[in-house]
């Protein structure tokens, strides 16, 4: 089972005054929607439930919320044998393009044709994704290194770009167009020629240029795959010697999705996020454990991101969001490791 997105040029472009948009979102937040959007916190920005107190604080077009988008579809702990349908729909505003790209891999894993995950699908279907351009980036952002643009494309329902006066909303699914129609019934939204998107392309190009310049020495998808695959043991021993197997890199990664299935009375199953970085992840009852050594576990994550998942799903499993670098308490920088392999 797959979610439907527009193919070809079926998408539409709308323009709305920033103040009008703000009022419309305010009116929505008290009706039938749960709205989540980034607001500023101590260290950066992160998703918050939008209510009367937070509605004036939404931050647009900044990279990137601390929480990866996956958390809304794959919560840390979830009973997957109970189907609870939320009467309210969820709107997530401000997901960056890198996280939308990461969601594509999650969809491939969780919505495969034979074994679709019901709880994941219902959350995906019940959520409207409004993804935003990144006009300012963070220190470790490097999406362009892996061929991902710092602005949304296919994979979200609506993409939001802005200039000083207006927001430009491009629809990428029927769900997105229906939502715009709903908004238009209570406010002024103009459909405009798709070429109008050019007014924001200058800003987009500036972001791409700054990212590309900053990260020019980090190798791209194919080279990274090759050098990680062909690497010897020493580099992994060296970098993993600082690793404490805390699993923060996986928890914060928009594409790390591995989980533990826990049994509960009544044959219920609870899914809890897990990671190959924890000891005994692959251990079998007989005692064999290919990932027993810390350096093997450490390398496993890189192999998964840059070699195995791309080979299997034909998508890169690292979106260049840089969260793993920020989250590492041992200050392990995966880009330094990759550059050392060249």
Partner 1 sequence: MTNIYKVLRATVEEVIDESPIIKTFVLIPESPFKFNTGEFIELSLNGFGEAPFTPSSSPLITDKLEITIMKTGYVTEKFHQLKSGEVLGIRGPFGRGYPVEKFFGKEVLILGGGCGLAPIRSLLFALEDVKDKLQRIILCYGSKSPSDCIYKPLFSRLNRIDKFETYRTVDKPEPGWKESVGVVTTLLDKVRMKIENTVAVVCGPPVMMKFGTIRLLEMGYKDDQIYLSMEKNMSCGVGKCGHCMMGEFFVCKDGPVFTYEEVKNTPDLWK
**Applying CB under 8 A, which residues contact partner 1?**
1, 80-81, 83, 109-110, 112, 114-118, 121, 257-261, 263-269, 271, 274, 276, 281-290, 296, 303-304, 307-309, 311-312
Kindly report each contact of residues 48-56 with a partner whose C-beta sits within 8 Å and lies 24 or more positions away, as own/partner: 50/25, 50/93, 55/22, 55/25, 55/26, 55/29
**From the CB of 253, what's the least distance to partner 1, in Å?**
12
Six-digit token string for 44: 């950066």
CB nearer to partner 1: pick between 111 and 327? 111
Give min distance, CB of 332 to partner 1, in A: 21
The least CB distance from residue 311 to partner 1, in Å, is 5
Q: Rank residues 111 and 184 by Cβ distance to partner 1 and give the closer one.
A: 111
Please report how close the Cβ of residue 232 comes to partner 1 at its closest, in angstroms.
12
Q: Which is nearer to partner 1, 6 or 259 (CB)?
A: 259
Q: Which is nearer to partner 1, 32 or 83 (CB)?
A: 83
Query: Least distance in Å: CB of 115 to partner 1?
Result: 4
Q: Crossing angle for the helix pair 97-110 and 118-125, nearest 10 degrees?
A: 140
Collapsed DSSP state (helix, strand, coil) of residue 167: strand
Burial of 106 (0-12, 13-18, 19+ CB in 10 A): buried
Contacts with 79 (C-beta within 8 Å, 6 or more apart), sequence order: 264, 268, 269, 270, 271
Q: DSSP per residue over 227-270, as a string? A: HHHT--SHHHHHHHTT-----HHHHT-TT---EEEEEETTTEEE
Give the residue with the Cβ less far from partner 1, 109 or 192: 109
């Amino acid at each position: 089972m797959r979610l439907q997105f527009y193919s070809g040029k079926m998408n539409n472009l709308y323009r709305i005054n920033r103040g009008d948009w703000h009022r419309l979102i305010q009116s929505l937040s008290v009706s039938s929607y749960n709205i989540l959007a980034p607001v500023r916190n101590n260290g950066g920005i992160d998703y918050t439930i939008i209510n009367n107190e937070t509605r004036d604080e939404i931050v647009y077009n900044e990279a990137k919320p601390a929480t990866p988008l996956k958390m809304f579809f794959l919560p840390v702990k979830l009973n997957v044998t109970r189907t609870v349908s939320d009467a309210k729909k969820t709107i997530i505003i401000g997901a960056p393009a890198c996280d939308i790209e990461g969601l594509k891999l999650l969809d491939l894993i969780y919505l495969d044709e034979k074994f679709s995950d019901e709880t994941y699908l219902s959350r995906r279907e019940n959520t409207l994704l409004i993804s935003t351009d990144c006009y300012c980036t963070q220190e470790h952002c490097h999406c362009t290194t892996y061929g991902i643009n710092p602005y949304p494309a296919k994979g979200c329902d609506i993409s939001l770009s802005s200039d000083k006066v207006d927001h430009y909303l491009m629809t990428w699914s029927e769900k997105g167009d229906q939502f715009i129609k709903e908004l238009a019934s209570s406010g002024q939204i103009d459909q405009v020629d798709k070429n109008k998107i050019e007014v924001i392309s200058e800003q987009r190009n500036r972001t791409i240029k700054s990212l590309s310049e900053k990260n020019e020495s980090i190798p791209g998808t194919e080279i990274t795959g090759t050098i990680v695959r062909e690497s010897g043991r020493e580099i992994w021993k060296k970098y993993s010697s600082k690793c404490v197997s805390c699993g923060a890199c996986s928890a914060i990664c928009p594409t790390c999705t591995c989980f533990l299935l826990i049994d509960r009375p009544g044959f219920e199953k609870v899914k809890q996020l897990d990671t190959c970085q924890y000891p005994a992840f692959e251990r079998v009852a007989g005692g064999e454990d290919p990932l027993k050594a810390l350096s093997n576990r450490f390398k496993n994550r890189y192999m998964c991101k840059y070699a195995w998942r791309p080979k299997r799903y034909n998508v890169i499993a690292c979106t260049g969001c840089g969260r793993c670098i920020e989250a590492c308490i041992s200050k392990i920088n995966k880009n330094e490791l990759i550059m050392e392999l060249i």
